């Protein structure tokens, strides 16, 4: 039996998720969005209620590239599962459709904040490794460059002869 605090949490939360995608060819965009929707529907305590995948349109600035988006309505058992969807699939937009008020216990908040912290630490670690590797590559390039090219050439004033 649930404690009285657990009964305060809101269950059955409906949300709209919007996923945007850019790439080529156009057919792959639709397949990718369909795969994302399938994966979301397979998540425990998450149910896809409806989906609407828009036809890809060509990008104006990038010839050969297309863009499209999907609107997905989901129902999750509680807000923690919506937060997990956000972290795992990174939609462009999330809107809670119902209920109007979402109640969450301190344990629920703790779960969400702990997951957020865990992911931020993981991203920070990746950034640190990439910075270290970038610095190593710069040092190697500097070592491999001929000595006369290591010095920056002085720019001459075109008016001087």
pTM (2 decimals)? 0.69
**What is the reported pLDDT for 1?**
43
Of residues 158 and 68, the one with the higher pLDDT is: 68
Nearest CA to 103 among 75, 78, 82, 76? 78
Task: State the Cα–Cα distance between residues 73 and 83, nearest whole angstrom.
Answer: 15
The pLDDT of residue 2: 47
pLDDT bucket at 158, cuts 50 / 70 / 90? low
CA distance 72 to 61: 28
How far from 87 is each of 5, 57, 80, 115, 147, CA to CA, in Å? Answer: 26, 27, 11, 9, 48
pLDDT of the residue at 146: 81
- CA–CA distance, 65 with 37 (Å, rounded to integer): 22
Q: Is the pLDDT of residue 161 over 80?
A: no
């Amino acid at each position: 039996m649930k404690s009285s605090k657990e009964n305060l949490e809101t269950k059955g939360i409906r949300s709209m998720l919007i996923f945007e995608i850019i790439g080529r060819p156009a057919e792959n965009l639709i397949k990718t969005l369909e795969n994302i929707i399938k994966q979301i529907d397979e998540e425990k305590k998450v149910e896809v209620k409806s989906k609407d995948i828009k036809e890809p349109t060509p990008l104006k600035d990038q010839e050969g590239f297309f863009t499209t988006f999907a609107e997905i309505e989901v129902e999750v058992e509680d807000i923690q599962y919506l937060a997990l969807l956000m972290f795992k699939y990174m939609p462009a937009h999330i809107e809670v459709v119902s209920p109007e008020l979402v109640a969450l216990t301190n344990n629920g908040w703790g779960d969400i904040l702990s997951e957020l912290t865990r992911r931020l630490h993981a991203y920070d670690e990746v950034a640190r490794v990439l910075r270290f590797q970038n610095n190593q590559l710069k040092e190697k390039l500097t070592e491999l460059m001929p000595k006369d090219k290591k010095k920056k050439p002085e720019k001459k004033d075109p008016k001087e002869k």
